[in-house]
Structures are given as C-alpha cells and as structure tokens.
Amino acid sequence: MRNIKRFAAVNTKVLALEGSLLSDEDFRKILTKKSVTEIARYLKDYTAYKSILKDADLDNIQAKELEILFKKHIARQIEKLIHYFTGEYKRFFRLLVLRYEMEDLKVYLRTVNREGDQSKAGQFTILPGNYTSFDKQRLDGAKSLERCIESLKGTVYYHLLKPYLNEKPGKRLFYMEMVLDKLYFQLLNRQAEKLNRQDNKLIRELLGKNIDLLNLQWIYRGLKFYKLPPEELINYTLQNGYVLNYKKIKDLCYSENAKELADKMAGSKYGFLFDNKTTLEVFMERRIKRYLYFLFLEYKRREKMNIIETNVYIHLLEFEIRDISSVIEAVKYRLDLEQSKGFLIRKI
C-alpha cells in the first residue's frame, strides 16, 4: 500500500512523458537527413523537442551545442520527477542528477588539462551553477589542473582527486575520471540500501548488471590498449557486480591478454560482448547500451508500482539522446543508412 501511494502520482506523470519519446519512425526519418541542421529542424517541427529547440539558431547549430541542449533537458526532467518523492527516495533520484555534475567537472578537468585555460569550459557544461556543489566561477579562473583541484576545496571531490596530481601527466586525468565514476556507483549502491526491500533489490539488480558490463569493458580495454598490470585493473574496477564478484573479477584481470579474457567469457551471460571479433572494439559500448535498453524494457513490463517506472523513463530518455547523437555522428562521417543504424542502441 505504501508503494502505491508513493508511486501512483509519479507513474502517471512518467507515462505521459514516455508518450513524448521518439518512435522508430522518427529515427527512420532523421536517419535520412544530411546535416545537423536538417536533423534539428525535424526534431523541432515534428517532435516533443520543439520546446528545447525553440530559441536555437538551427541554421548554424553545431553537434556539440545540440548535445548540451539535450543533456540539459535530461537533467531538467529528472529534477521535475524528484519533486514527487520524499526522504530517501528523493535523495536517490538526486544522485542521478549528480552524475551530470560529475560530467561537468570532467569537462573542466579535460579542458584545463588540454588547453591550460578554463574560460570556455562553462559553455559545454550541463547544470547551472546553483545546482552544483562546486563553484563554477572559481573553476573558470583556473589556469592549471592543480589550480582546478584547489578550487574544489570544501567539496567531496577535493580529497578524492588531489592525490592523482602526483601521477604522470599522461595518466592523471584518466585516473581522475575513473575515480569519479567509481564514486558515483558507490553512492548509488549506498543510497539503494536505504530504500524499501523490494526497491533496493530491483535497483541493486540493475546496478549490478550495469557494473558487470562496465567492468568487462574496462578490463578488455585495459588489457588491449593500455597493457595495464592486473593490480591496476583490479584497483579501478567497480564493486557490487551482479554476476561478477571480486573473485571472478580478479581472475579476469589476471588474463594474459584480451583474447584470453574473451575466451573466459565465451558461453557466459555476458559472452555476447565478445562474440564478434570483427566489430568487437567498434560496437562493445553499443552492445552494452543495447543490453541495458532491453533489460529496462523487460523490467518495465514486469514491475508495477515500484521504483522501476521512473528509472526506466530516465534511462530511455538518455538512450534516445545517445541515439540522436549517433545519427549526428553518422551524418558527419557520411555513413550510409545501414552503417548508421548499426550504431543505434535501439534496433531499427
């Protein structure tokens, strides 16, 4: 009864929002467009993205600008849904916004690391300054990675990131981004424990499967491209996987190479990540997203009056915007229709 009261109103809202998501037919149409402007015009004229694009200069809009507009839309949608919750549930959904705060922080770290100047970083961030725990104005003035980290004093990020300033310049940004991702999943898992038993179980299942896949991607890339030692691979894996516990993760990290890793996973629940050697590197991330996409749809069909409905909508929206970005990239590189469809999370 308590869950019915908690979710009745928000689920009604979510069902309405799901009705505004793009259809497969919408994607078939934007796949035929020849430029970012044509894609943006279709979205403005025929879809619920009209309100997002109403003030944009579509004749001169750039792909990055469009991506930022869409990500800001996701953050606003999550904020709207947060108001339907109280207590630990409100805190849980606020963590989904925190991910965009971390993405903004990564923008600052990358920009100053690459250019030594933060003055233009703010235009590529998602959240307004009053929504972040760090001071964007202080970060705008940072001229080095060291000054950038010093600007984070008083936030959870300062003591987390400062030790990595001692790493080699070529690796420290990479480590900082990894440790931010690790923090995000730790916070989600801790907060999930504060939900009721049913919702905790569902969230831990979804998170655990996501963590399994991200760990496999990390270990594969670490072996294949970075030639990292096992101890370093283990150090940056995420905890609380669903199938892959610490013992299994350790065994995978001690694989001699990426081929041995793929051989170990053959025939397993996640063997699909490695079953096409020709397109393994190109489509690994897409395969992960597609697995999660259909997993969320399965949970949506199965679960009622619990935390799943809101989570499904948020992730479907994120997947949709990821697919729009993939179409834009396909236009940029002049891929043909079949090639373009291959990069989508949804199946067209």
Instruction: Please report, for the chain, the start and end positions of each structural domain, with discontinuous segments joined by +.
Output: 213-270
The pLDDT value recorded for residue 143 is 87
Sign of CA dihedral 81, 87, 89, 95: positive
131: pLDDT strictly greater than 90: no
pLDDT digits (tens, 9 = 90+) for 169-211: 888 999 999 999 999 999 999 999 999 999 999 999 999 999 9
pLDDT digits (tens, 9 = 90+) for 72-116: 999 999 999 999 999 999 999 999 999 999 999 999 999 998 876
The Cα–Cα gap between 68 and 226 comes to 30
The average pLDDT across 315-324 equals 98
**Backbone torsions φ then ψ of 172, nearest 5 degrees:** -65, -35
286: pLDDT strictly greater than 90: yes
The pLDDT value recorded for residue 220 is 97
The average pLDDT across 45-65 equals 96
Q: Which amino acid is at 240?
A: N
Cβ-based neighbour number of residue 109 at 10 Å? 25
pLDDT band at 325 (very low <50, low <70, confident <90, very high): very high
The pLDDT value recorded for residue 97 is 95
21 within 8 A of 317, measured Cβ to Cβ: yes
The pLDDT value recorded for residue 117 is 65
The Cα–Cα gap between 308 and 233 comes to 32
Sign of CA dihedral 319, 324, 329, 330: positive
27: pLDDT strictly greater than 90: yes
**Cα 4 to Cα 85, 90, 271, 272, 305, distances in angstroms:** 13, 16, 38, 37, 6
pLDDT band at 298 (very low <50, low <70, confident <90, very high): very high
pTM beyond 0.75: the answer is yes
The pLDDT value recorded for residue 79 is 95
**Backbone torsions φ then ψ of 112, nearest 5 degrees:** -70, -30
- Mean pLDDT, the chain, rounded, equals 94
The average pLDDT across 318-334 equals 97
> What SS3 class is residue 241?
coil
Tokens (6 digits) for 239: 């905890």
Of 100, 99, 91, 81, the closest CA to residue 193 belongs to 91
pLDDT digits (tens, 9 = 90+) for 207-262: 999 999 999 999 999 999 989 999 999 999 999 999 999 999 999 999 999 999 99
pLDDT band at 137 (very low <50, low <70, confident <90, very high): confident
The pLDDT value recorded for residue 114 is 85
Of 345, 346, 207, the closest CA to residue 284 belongs to 345
The pLDDT value recorded for residue 343 is 96
Distance between first and last Cα of the chain: 40
The pLDDT value recorded for residue 121 is 80
pLDDT band at 119 (very low <50, low <70, confident <90, very high): low
124: pLDDT strictly greater than 90: no
Sign of CA dihedral 271, 276, 280, 286: negative
Interhelix angle 63-82/36-46, nearest 10 degrees: 30
25: pLDDT strictly greater than 90: yes
2: pLDDT strictly greater than 80: no
pLDDT cut 90: percent of the chain above it: 86
DSSP tag of 238: P
